[in-house]
Amino acid sequence: MLDGTTAEIRERQHLRVNPAKTCQPIGAMYAALGVNKCMPHSHGSQGCCAYHRSQLTRHYKEPVVATTSSFTEGASVFGGLANLKTALDNIFTIYNPDIVSVHTTCLSEVIGDDIPMIIKKATEDGIVPEGKLVIHANTPSFVGSHVTGFANQCKAFVTYLAESSGETKNVVNIFPGWVEPADMRELKRLAAGVGVEFILAPDTSDVLDTALDGEYRMYPDGGTSIPQLKAMGDSFLTVSLGPLSSKPAAEALEKKCKVPFKDLEIPYGVAATDAFIDALRLAGDTAVPKELEKERGRLVDMISDMSQYLHKKKVAIFGDPDHLTSMVSFLVEMGMEPAIVISGTPGKKWEQNIRNICAPVNPDVEVRAFSDIHFLHQWIKNNPVDLVMGNTYGKYVAREENLPFIRFGFPIMDRVGHRAFPTVGYMGGMRIVEKITDAMFDKRDREDPDHEVELVL
């Protein structure tokens, strides 16, 4: 498939080939699915909604439910007011959610639909039943990426729902960033282990990884409840994981309800997990339980055991900025050398942050925001690496260059373990080390002569 990719690199300003990102509404849809009895609604054409649902369904291997305003030529010219009002009427009549979260698309943004006005008009006309809620987030696909859409949707939940009663409660809010359902479950386990009361929002565990019991539920049991979202305004602290995906919501909550926040990286690896655990420990004035200390020790032991095989191995990695920041840090902790780091999301500050992280092991690391997998492939042809990490689309590069490949990030459409097994925390760190060493030894087992294939490490 990639036989035509040449090693000659030409700077491209107006073209991306196989970009390492997708569009905002996908992120908004994913965040909305993390709220209990919430119906994500795509204010645009049917094709947009179908694509967004398809990407999420293929990644999570679960049916993703969402509705659409079904724009036609008429809505494109005269606006989507009538379409959205009709859609809301149908949604509450047929599907009966507790809340509808409207996110925009390119078309509705370009024509300039005033979504708050339309929601207000629908409420005044009795289309929105009493006790039900409709909120919105602006998510134009021509700006940012799916991570931006996730952040905008999380911020919208705060803007519309968070309330302050004036009574501060001994609760910590956790904004997890865009991570897998298994990761959200692991974050809750870690927080509970430290002994703090918390609200995690959004929470896609038990929504996009539900148990098969023979009964279909449009609204699974999981997800952050509306009362929990409202109560976030009374918490005494917010811990936001991922500056791009979670910090906007934390900032909005601080501005609206005076809840201070601590901005951390997604807890991949030792140091980032330490920072998360320590923030919760200090917030709750508790002690870290022995079991978590043992988990940490097992991760450190595994890194030590495998260091002879991972030391100075060069890695090409691409994905979302928040994921990359923590994962690159973890690679450095393992003694590996990030050689090229690519994101499809714009961000000059992020580029410099990655260079700072890599400085101790590789000060010449190639870092590109708003780039693509095509450039990554060309760079690899000129600068050989030992490992490729990224979403499913990276497998074509890895296959063409005969390199070990670790699936990481979004979307992963040809494997299932990512939604079932966490990569955050100490346990998740052990899984990452296992996956990396397995992939590198599988290559050696295939290619090395028999006398060099060790039976035992």
Q: What is the Cα 255 distance to its own chain's centre?
A: 24
Given 49, 64, 100, 106, the catalytic residue: 106
Residue 49 designated active-site: no
- The three-class DSSP label of residue 67 is strand
User: Distance between CA 411 and CA 388 in Å, rounded?
Assistant: 15
Give the dihedral of Cα atoms 165, 166, 171, 175; nearest 10 deg. Answer: 70
Residue 143 designated active-site: no
Evaluate whether 89 touches 15 at the Cβ level (below 8 Å): no
Given 17, 110, 416, 453, the catalytic residue: 110
DSSP 83-119: HHHHHHHHIIIII--SEEEEEE-HHHHHHT--HHHHH
- 277-284 CB contacts, 8 Å cutoff, 24+ apart: 277/190, 277/194, 279/239, 280/172, 280/190, 280/191, 280/194, 280/196, 280/198, 280/239, 281/194, 283/172, 283/196, 283/236, 283/237, 283/239, 284/170, 284/172, 284/194, 284/195, 284/196, 284/197
Give which of 221, 220, 264 is closest to 241, Cα–Cα: 264
Catalytic annotation, residues: 106, 110
